[in-house]
Structure 1
Amino acid sequence: MLNTLQKPETWQQSMLSSVIAITEAADGDFSKIDRLVAASRDPHSTDLTIEHLARSPHSRIALTNRRSLGSIDLNALHQLPSDTLGYYYADYMLRHQLQHLVTSPATTEAEFIDNHMRETHDIWHVVTGSSIDMHGEIQLQAFCVAQLQLSRFWMALMTKNLLKASIYNIEAADGYLTALTTGWMMGKAAQPLFGVDWLSMWEMPLDRVRASLDIKLINN
């Protein structure tokens, strides 16, 4: 009689299968994204990411305090002067019919990193000038790889899009690689965005926010 019991997947096998699943899935399939998050959270790479983030004072404080942004009134922010970060963020969210994500309290540094990246994702879109289309997403993914380093999740997410171009849409490769290069260069040049106190910057002109963080937009 054959032994039908299967050995548990190694994390490498789980990671590979989750990358294949998200490559085959439709863009924006959050169930596949959540699976990739779980598969990519191995202790070694997580520790390396935490060690890297802790080199920045404000990132280290954020990891210690683990404070979320909480609920944000987009309509109130939209009343701010039209050159401010708050206005730009609210306008971006309202135009694209998006809602600010409110996360649950994190009990570990790894959970906080996931939560913080989720709740600030669209703020990073705005400050980096990354559009909401696939080119903009790839640009921001490459920016995140440059900023967080050694993050298996962001590396895998970027790899997924390159795989999709390779298999399903090779004509998109040039644009994808341009977006990747742009995001990588911006991310390496910028100050760490993880843990930035965005709530205190809503009324600051967006140009000043970018200048304070050494974010230089690159026109392709």
Structure 2
Amino acid sequence: MSFRYLDRVASPEAIQQFLDLADLALGAAQSAHNVFALSHRLRETRPMQLCRTRLQRDPASWAWVEERRPCGPYDLAALQAMPKGSLGHTYGTVMATLGYDINFFPKPEFFNNLDTDADYINYRVFATHDIHHILTGFSLDNFGELGVISLSVAQYSHPGLAFTDLIGLLMSWFRTDTPIADLESEQEQARTTAYVFRMISQGLEMGLAAQPLFPVRWEERMEQNLEELRAELGIEPIRDGISSWHSDGALAAALAA
């Protein structure tokens, strides 16, 4: 039996590179900056080449990259003033209720002033990330995060998000010592490999079933009814359980007010 392939894969250099990237991915739960930095580190890699190739095959998506079209910033008050049930009103109200910064994503300067295609791709991915949460129904916390990022992995293999998925699955494997059926609360179940695998699978399936989201002009869709937009884009959202923002009573009350 030959272990030469494993020797190449598990070389000291490869292991150190993996550990450096894993350290950034593991810190993403505490600071979004970590996942920004992780994606920045991966911009000149083969996984990013794959991402570029997939986006190039969709002319509408690639036009955004070639033209370096700006994303945001978003006006929270203006969004909240939009009609109830619209994408904009839902987006603004959810972000305000949770106390999140709607313009949390880095400015172009962080991404080398969008010098390369990879820099722009990273910029747009994070500028539209929370809109994807609203569309898909995945909660804006650790319980729904792997689901929503898997949608982008399915559609165009974004390397930073794909690596985050892999680390999330790996770390859940290290944590899991009890069958998910033996755990009573969803919070306990969410720490298991079975739950993480389900979240990733749901996001991947949703992304494969949906229309391309990368080229959607969200600024022009904010006043559109959210349910109509979901139907148009082929998105069947997550509506139940801790992995869905729809099940958050405080958000439901704020949206109904």
1:119 maps to 2:127: yes
Identical aligned residues as a percent: 27
1:33 Cα offset (Å): 2.5
| Structure 1 residue 120 displacement after superposition | 0.6
> Can you list the C-alpha shifts for 1:30-80, whole angstroms capped at 9, x where unaligned?
454344223322343322211211222321111111112232211111011
Secondary structure of 2:69's match? coil
Structure 1 equivalent of residue 153 of structure 2: 145
Q: CA 1:164–1:43 in 2, change beyond 3 Å: closer, same or farther?
A: closer
The structure-2 alpha-carbon separation of the partners of 1:90 and 1:24, relative to structure 1 and needing over 3 Å to count, comes to: closer
Distance 2:196 2:231 in 1: 26
Amino acid at match of 1:52: R
Which residue of the other structure, out of 194, 216, 219, is the alignment partner of 2:236? 216
**Distance in 1 between the 2:214 and 2:16 partners?**
27
Please identify which structure carries the higher helix content. Answer: 2
Tell me what 1:83 maps to: 85
Matches within 5 A, 1:23-42: 25=27, 27-42=29-44
User: How big is each residue's C-alpha offset from its partner over 1:170-194, in whole Å with a ceiling of 9 and x where there is no partner?
Assistant: 5522221221111111011111111
Question: Residues 40 and 119 of structure 2 are in contact (CA less than 8 Å); yes or no, is this contact kept in structure 1?
Answer: no
More displaced, 182-191 or 17-26? 17-26
Q: Report the Cα offset of residue 218 of structure 1.
A: 4.9
TM-score of the superposition, structure 1-length normalised?
0.85
Which SS does the other structure have where 2:46 is aligned? helix
Correspondence 1:138-217 to 2 at 5 A: 138-149=146-157, 151-170=158-177, 171=189, 172-173=191-192, 174-217=194-237
Aligned with residue 64 of structure 1, among 56, 63, 66: 66
Number of aligned residue pairs? 210
Could you tell me which runs of 5 or more consecutive residues in structure 1 were left unpaired when the two chains were aligned.
1-8
Normalized against structure 2, the TM-score is what? 0.74
80, 92, 96: which is aligned to 1:94?
Answer: 96
The separation in 1 between residues aligned to 2:152 and 2:42, in whole angstroms, is 15
Indicate if the aligned counterparts of 1:23 and 1:164 stay in contact, CA closer than 8 A: no
1:4 corresponds in structure 2 to none
- Rounded Cα–Cα distance in structure 1 between residues aligned with 2:232 and 2:70: 22
- In the alignment, structure 2 segments of 5+ residues that lack a partner are 1-11, 178-188, 241-257
Q: Deviations over 1:182-212 (max 9, x none)?
A: 1111011111111210000011001111112
Deviations 1:135-164 (A, max 9, x none): 310101221210112x33222101111122
